[in-house]
Structure 1
Amino acid sequence: MGTGGIGERLNRLRRCCGFDRNELRRDVDRAQWLIGLLLLAGCAVVASLVSVRVAQDVYGAGVRTEHREAATLRKVEATVTAAKEEVSGRQVTVTWTDATGARRTAGYVTWRGAAVGARLHLWAGPEGVRDEPPRTHARTVSDTAAYELGALAAVGLTFGGLYMLVRRRCDRLRDERWDAAWAGLDRHSIGP
């Protein structure tokens, strides 16, 4: 099998995609090709618009959360005063001294083990205390990328589903025309 040049490969790709004047192509083949091409162009436009919008929204919300948490959460060393097992994790009550010297007590739910009397490094803020540090920029970027890929997948699946419906309808039309052609051929008698 010979290896063709780049021009021959591009020509083969062009014919494979339907960019030729093949006499054997039916109208339904050309219609399917045209609709598929329009759906592909529409998918590219819609996917780019949707993914940019989703990325802007997710990234903006993430950056606002980063700034808010960096401004309000402070790292504290807390002592566990009570720990109770629950279905959703472990309910832990802790006490600590804040920056003003006031003694604070709060509770939070965690999956991590915490025994009474243990010293933990936690993050305290106006909403209470938690064991997760403030949101990082790396998490904002990774969340943005994940949501953007999800948006692209949703748009791609939608347009792919539309094309599958078009293809199914075109296949049905092809089958009907094929059956009609065979029925027309059966009407002609061959021989004496």
Structure 2
Amino acid sequence: MSARGSPHASGPPSRRGDHAPKGADSLRRTSDRCECWFRRVLVVVLLLGLPAAAGSAGLTAYEASMRTVRAQAAERHQVTARLTSTVKGDDWAKRAAQVRWTDTNGVVRTGTALVKPGTSKGATVRVWVTRDGTVTGPPASTLNATTSGWMVGGMAAFGVAAGSCAAWAGVRRVLDRRRYARWDAEWLLVEPQWSARFHR
């Protein structure tokens, strides 16, 4: 008997799916394909959009902070002032006290600054003032600008990641609802046939 017509002919057996079109999968539903493509889009967003958003937001915040740093550095300067009265107290927290100094034009000015408790009247303190003689805090530094840039960039990155996760969860929820609805509809058609088999 010829082996050509034999069901046990030699040679490697054909694999399942050899006759199916390339990329086709009878078990994959339309919702599965949508989920796969949406997952790929989110991966691209995370790989490209997250660094871009974080870098852009961080750089913008840093440049804005640096403008503030330069403006405050030009507006504020330190002067040596003297306390007009003794600062009472023995704790560590600074307290507001009145100080007096003479500006570059020879005008005597007064203001309120934070001074350590226990500092006696007439003691000298260094205070920051504006051009119009108002006591203020020290100007922002480049460290403040750098910190602001990193914080804003990190918040932007977190926002992109959180938005992507929320979008993924939302899409999965919508697709799962459609799947469950389709399964229920199909079960309504199949269940009578299954029931009939066991009641014969």
TM-score with structure 2 length normalisation? Answer: 0.66
Matches of 2:26 and 2:125, distance apart in 1: 78
Matches of 1:155 and 1:147, distance apart in 2: 12
Q: Residues 35 and 107 (structure 1 numbering): CA distance in 2 closer, same or farther, change over 3 Å?
A: same
Matches of 2:197 and 2:51, distance apart in 1: 59
Is the counterpart of residue 41 in structure 1 residue 44 in structure 2? Answer: yes
Task: Kindly state the Cα deviation for residue 168 of structure 1 after the two structures are TM-superposed.
Answer: 0.8
Task: Kindly state the Cα deviation for residue 147 of structure 1 after the two structures are TM-superposed.
Answer: 0.6
Task: Kindly state the Cα deviation for residue 23 of structure 1 after the two structures are TM-superposed.
Answer: 4.3
Task: Kindly state the Cα deviation for residue 173 of structure 1 after the two structures are TM-superposed.
Answer: 0.9
State which structure, 1 or 2, has the greater radius of gyration over its C-alpha atoms.
2
Is the counterpart of residue 129 in structure 1 residue 135 in structure 2? Answer: yes
For 1:174, the equivalent position in structure 2 comes to 179
Q: Deviations over 1:122-171 (max 9, x none)?
A: 211226222x4322212211110001111122222223222221111011
Alignment of 1:76-155 (within 5 A): 76-81=79-84, 92-107=97-112, 117=121, 119-126=124-131, 128-130=134-136, 132-155=137-160
Task: Kindly state the Cα deviation for residue 45 of structure 1 after the two structures are TM-superposed.
Answer: 4.5
Matches of 2:159 and 2:176, distance apart in 1: 25
Task: Kindly state the Cα deviation for residue 176 of structure 1 after the two structures are TM-superposed.
Answer: 1.2
Matches of 2:141 and 2:149, distance apart in 1: 13
CA contact (8 A) 2:54 2:153 kept: yes
Number of residue pairs aligned between Structure 1 and Structure 2 = 165
Matches of 2:53 and 2:156, distance apart in 1: 7
Structure 1, unaligned stretches of length 5 or more? 1-19, 84-88
Taking every aligned residue pair, what percent have the same amino acid on both sides? 25
Q: Deviations over 1:69-99 (max 9, x none)?
A: 223322223234478xxxxx96543222334
Q: Which amino acid aligns with 2:62?
A: Y
Matches of 2:161 and 2:110, distance apart in 1: 50
Aligned residue for 1:190, secondary structure, equals: helix
Matches of 1:80 and 1:158, distance apart in 2: 55
Matches of 1:172 and 1:134, distance apart in 2: 57
